């Protein structure tokens, strides 16, 4: 054999797919520090593991995994994380994820910072129990919600999902915690893709799709 391509081998590599792109993103930037003795990758895996262990549905497990993906999508991810600047990561992540997943994934991601502000206002002792990094970021995220803001938040369709993600977010900062690998959770994410997007993934695997990757959107 001279290695010439056959009709079974695509001439061009398949375009980046959402799951491939997420995998690539965590490979490239997952070692960035979350800031509390865990990396971004470890934090994501721990949150997803806690969600799975609690019996959460697939979309909420994926939301837990990817709730901070906006940190990694930021064009100056390392700088923003280092300085603690408000990178609006919840909006950045939700916007990117919304291209590929339904609101059951994207909305808890969009609301997980608001969920912290809600809990600070509503749950006695919650603010005091936050990690130093979470307390610092609370300041630039607007501080605890007002009574009017909490009333609006709790009526949102995905408020309960966001509050669950927030609980796992608070717990997923352990120096040592055994978790499944990212591939385990990406398989779950693959089952949560919007139907039209799942079709695009299947076509791309056959070498005929032209979808652009989730990052950079």
Positions that interact with Fe ion (CB under 5 A): 68, 169
Please report how close the Cβ of residue 105 comes to Fe ion at its closest, in angstroms: 15
Nearer to Fe ion, 21 or 68 (CB): 68
Please report how close the Cβ of residue 184 comes to Fe ion at its closest, in angstroms: 19
- CB of 35 within 8 A of CB of 81? yes
From residue 107, alpha-carbon distances to 9, 23, 38, 70 in Å are 39, 21, 25, 13
What's CA 176's distance to the chain center, in Å?
21
Cα 182-51-133 angle, rounded to 5 deg: 85
Nearer to Fe ion, 52 or 68 (CB): 68
Rounded to an integer, what distance in angstroms lies between the CA atom of residue 130 and that of residue 113?
13
Please report how close the Cβ of residue 62 comes to Fe ion at its closest, in angstroms: 14
- Phi, psi for residue 144 in degrees, rounded to 5: -60, 145
Nearer to Fe ion, 46 or 150 (CB): 46
- CB of 59 within 8 A of CB of 97? no
Nearer to Fe ion, 59 or 68 (CB): 68
Rounded to an integer, what distance in angstroms lies between the CA atom of residue 104 and that of residue 62?
9
Please report how close the Cβ of residue 88 comes to Fe ion at its closest, in angstroms: 10
Nearer to Fe ion, 74 or 197 (CB): 74
Rounded to an integer, what distance in angstroms lies between the CA atom of residue 155 and that of residue 137?
25
Please report how close the Cβ of residue 93 comes to Fe ion at its closest, in angstroms: 8
Nearer to Fe ion, 59 or 169 (CB): 169
Please report how close the Cβ of residue 158 comes to Fe ion at its closest, in angstroms: 15
Which residue from 56, 42, 39 is spatially nearest to 188, judged by alpha carbons?
A: 56
């Amino acid at each position: 054999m001279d290695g010439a391509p056959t009709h079974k081998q695509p001439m061009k590599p398949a375009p980046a797919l959402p799951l491939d792109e997420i995998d690539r993103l965590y490979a490239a930037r997952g070692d960035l520090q979350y800031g509390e003795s865990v990396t971004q990758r470890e934090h994501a895996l721990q949150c997803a593991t806690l969600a799975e262990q609690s019996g959460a549905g697939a979309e909420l497990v994926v939301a837990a995994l990817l709730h901070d993906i906006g940190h990694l999508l930021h064009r100056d991810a390392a700088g923003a994380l280092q300085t603690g600047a408000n990178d609006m990561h919840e909006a950045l992540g939700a916007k990117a994820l919304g291209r590929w997943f339904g609101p059951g994934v994207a909305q808890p991601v969009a609301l997980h910072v608001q969920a912290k502000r809600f809990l600070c206002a509503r749950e006695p002792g919650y603010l005091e129990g936050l990690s130093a990094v979470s307390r610092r970021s609370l300041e630039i995220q607007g501080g605890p919600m007002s009574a009017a803001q909490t009333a609006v938040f709790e009526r949102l369709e995905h408020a309960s999902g966001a509050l669950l993600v927030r609980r796992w977010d608070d717990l997923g900062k352990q120096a040592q915690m055994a978790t499944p690998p990212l591939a385990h959770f990406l398989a779950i994410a693959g089952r949560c893709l919007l139907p039209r997007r799942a079709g695009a993934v299947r076509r791309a695997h056959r070498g005929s799709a032209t979808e652009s990757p989730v990052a950079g959107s």
